C-alpha cells in the first residue's frame, strides 16, 4: 500500500533522513521507531505532503504522491494524528470530529451558502456518522463537551476519531500512547487492533513505548540519525545490538 523509495530530506546542510526505503502492506500495523531526532516525524511529514523530499519517491496504492498537497493526500485516503495534540480548543468533541468529514462534502459551495436541501441532508448524515465513531471509541458521552476539557488520553482518542472521519485507508499515528498510563495504553492497543479490522485500516505509527509496539506491530523499522538500522519483527529489534546501542541500552525485555 505504501512505498518509501530512497527518501532523503535535507534542511540546509543537515540530512534529517538519508536514503531510506521501506514498504507497508495492506492491513499491516507497521512501527517507525528510533531515538529522538532520528527523523521519524520528518518521514510522516514527507508522506503527508507537509515536506517535499530532497530525493526519492513516496507511492501510495501504486500512485506517486510525493509533491502533492496535504489536502490532496488526505482525499486519497491518508490521515494522521500528531505528536502534540492538535484539537480546536473552542470546539466541542463532536465539532472536532465533524471537521474530518469536510474532506468528503457531498454539497457545493452554492448549496451550503443558500442552505439547500442537499446541504442539510449531508449535515444530518455526517453528524450521525461522527456520533457512531465517538461511540466506537467510547467518547459519545463527551460529544457536547469542550474537547480540551477531556483527559489527555481521551483527547488522543478524539484526534483518532477525527482522523477516522476522513475515511482513511492508511492511518498515521504519531506517538498515540504518549502521556497515557499503562491501563490506557493497553486499552488503546486493543482498540487499534480492532479498528484495523472494523475500518479496513493499514496503520503506520511512531512510538517509544516498546511494550505497546510489541503488542501491536507486525513489523518495525528503526531509524537512527535518519538512517535505517533495522527492519523486522519488534521482538527481534530489542535484541539487535545496533538498535540497543542507538537507544543507549534502554530497550530490554522488561521495558
Task: Read off the pLDDT of residues 199-242 as tens digits, 9 standing for 90 and up.
Answer: 999 999 999 888 899 889 999 999 998 999 999 999 898 888 88
Bridge partners for 7 per DSSP: 20
Per-residue pLDDT tens for 133-183? 999 999 999 999 999 999 988 999 999 999 999 999 999 999 999 888 888
pTM above 0.75, yes or no: yes
Q: 44 CB contacts (<8 Å, ≥6 apart)?
A: 32, 80, 172, 174, 204, 206
Q: Where in the sequence of the chain do the CATH 3.40.50.300 domains occur?
A: 1-77+168-255
| Residue (of 168, 88, 106) closest to 133 by Cα position | 168
CATH code of the domain occupying 1-77+168-255: 3.40.50.300
> Can you say how many angstroms the Cα of residue 56 is from the centroid of all Cα atoms in its chain?
21
The region of weakest confidence among 55-59, 209-213, 227-231, 246-250 is: 246-250
Cell numbers describing residue 69: 498537497
Q: 57 CB contacts (<8 Å, ≥6 apart)?
A: 3, 5, 6, 7, 64, 66
How far is residue 225's CA from residue 206's CA, in Å, rounded to a whole number? 15
User: What DSSP state is assigned to residue 92?
Assistant: B
Helices (H), the chain: 40-47, 70-76, 93-98, 109-113, 117-136, 152-164, 182-198, 210-216, 234-237, 241-246
| Residue (of 44, 21, 36, 35) closest to 203 by Cα position | 44
Amino acid at each position: 500500500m505504501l512505498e518509501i523509495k530512497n527518501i532523503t530530506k535535507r534542511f540546509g546542510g543537515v540530512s534529517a533522513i538519508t536514503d531510506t526505503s521501506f514498504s507497508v502492506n495492506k492491513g499491516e500495523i507497521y512501527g517507525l521507531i528510533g531515538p529522538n531526532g532520528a527523523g521519524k516525524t520528518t518521514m510522516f511529514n514527507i508522506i503527508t505532503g507537509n515536506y517535499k523530499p530532497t530525493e526519492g519517491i513516496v507511492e501510495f496504492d501504486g500512485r506517486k504522491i510525493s509533491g502533492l498537497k496535504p489536502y490532496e493526500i488526505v482525499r486519497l485516503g491518508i490521515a494522521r494524528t500528531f505528536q502534540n495534540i492538535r484539537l480546536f480548543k473552542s470546539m466541542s468533541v463532536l465539532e472536532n470530529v465533524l471537521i474530518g468529514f469536510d474532506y468528503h462534502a457531498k454539497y457545493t459551495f452554492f448549496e451550503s451558502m443558500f442552505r439547500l436541501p442537499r446541504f442539510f441532508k449531508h449535515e444530518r448524515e455526517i453528524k450521525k456518522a461522527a456520533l457512531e465513531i465517538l461511540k466506537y471509541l467510547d467518547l459519545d458521552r463527551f460529544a457536547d463537551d469542550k474537547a480540551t476539557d477531556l483527559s489527555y488520553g481521551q483527547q488522543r482518542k478524539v484526534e483518532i476519531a477525527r482522523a477516522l472521519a476522513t475515511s482513511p485507508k492508511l492511518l498515521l499515528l504519531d506517538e498515540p500512547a504518549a502521556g497515557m498510563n499503562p491501563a490506557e495504553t493497553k486499552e488503546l492497543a486493543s482498540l487499534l487492533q480492532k479498528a484495523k479490522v472494523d475500518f479496513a485500516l493499514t496503520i503506520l505509527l511512531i512510538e517509544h513505548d516498546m511494550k505497546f509496539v510489541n503488542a501491536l506491530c507486525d513489523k518495525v523499522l528503526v531509524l537512527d540519525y535518519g538512517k535505517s538500522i533495522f527492519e523486522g519483527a519488534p521482538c527481534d529489534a530489542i535484541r539487535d545490538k545496533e538498535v540497543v546501542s542507538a537507544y543507549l541500552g534502554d530497550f530490554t525485555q522488561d521495558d
